Amino acid sequence: MDKDDKNKNPEQNKTSRHTWIGDEEEVRKQEAMTERRTYTLSPQATRIVQKQKKKYSGFITDEELENSDIIKIEDRKTTLVNKEDISQTRIYDPFEKQGTEGEPEDKGKAQPKSRYITITVSDSAKFKRIIALLAVFLILIAFEVSYFVLKSYTGKIPAETQTAKTQTEQIVAENEQLTEQIGQFNSKDEMKELKESWERLKQKIGNTE
């Protein structure tokens, strides 16, 4: 959307976009906005963005943004360099003391201790790298767990193998006895024939009554 479009619908654009300037804790404070410093890590960065002091409202409209005396960064290259250097993490601290232009602020005083750290990942490529790194660690952990599991099983298996062998020996001995026992039996046909011969003998003896 360009400026012309915005002017066509001033009402709509008045509060159409809310830009958060600070974190949640900062939003609640009703203090004057303080100067925010951008620390450039690259020698190429030459611009410092300075923001006009005004009463902190929690959000800023597009109009206010355009009408402010914000120095727009024209050096695209510088901007990109800045972004690369500091895009991974930006730590917002609620500065109480106002600093002068171009000079790093003294952070020694009045930094409230927080138990939490806010991590911002601004680049999806970086985010994917973090995920990939975590995945590598998980794989490593799985690898190590598998090592100890294998080692544990390797220690236990010989005893189980020996148990199986002992059981096999016992059963084989029993099988030999059973085979010998079966050998002492007549064949099933012979036994049936014997039974029939007893039946015939019974008939020969007959009922004496």
Partner 1 sequence: MGETKAEDRKYRVSKSVLALLAILMLMVIAAAVYVVPRYGKVFSAFNEQRKLYSAAKTDLSKAEKENAELKKQVEDYEAVKSETDAARDEVYAMAAQLEKDIIDGKSDKKICYITIDDGPYNRGKDFIELFNKYDIKATFFLTTANGDKLPDQANLTARSMYPEYLKYGHTIGNHTYSHDYSKGGVYKNAKTFIDAVEKQQEFTKAATGGFTPKIVRFPGGTSMAADQLAPIQEALRKAGYGWIDWTIDSGDSFGGDDAKADKILKKVVKASKDPDQKIMVALFHEWSKESYKAMPQIIEKLSAEGYIFLPLFYDSAMVKK
Contacts to partner 1 by CB under 8 A: 19-21, 36, 38, 49, 51, 70, 83, 86, 90, 115-124, 127, 137, 140-141, 143-144, 147, 150-151, 153-154, 157-158, 160-161, 164-165, 167-168, 171-172, 174-175, 178-179, 181-182, 184-186, 188, 190-192, 194-195, 197-202, 204-206, 208
Nearest CB to partner 1, comparing residues 8 and 195: 195
Nearest CB to partner 1, comparing residues 98 and 186: 186
- Minimum Å gap between C-beta 11 and partner 1 is 24
Nearest CB to partner 1, comparing residues 10 and 146: 146
Nearest CB to partner 1, comparing residues 41 and 178: 178
- Minimum Å gap between C-beta 88 and partner 1 is 11
Cβ–Cβ < 8 Å for 46, 78 = yes
Cβ–Cβ < 8 Å for 79, 28 = no
Main-chain phi, psi angles of 55, to 5 degrees: -65, 130
The three-point CA angle 104-106-112 to 5° equals: 125
| Per-residue 3-state assignment (H helix, E strand, C coil) for 3-18 | HHHHHHCHHHHHCCCC
> What is the helix (H) or strand (E) element at residue 86, kind and residue range?
helix 76-86
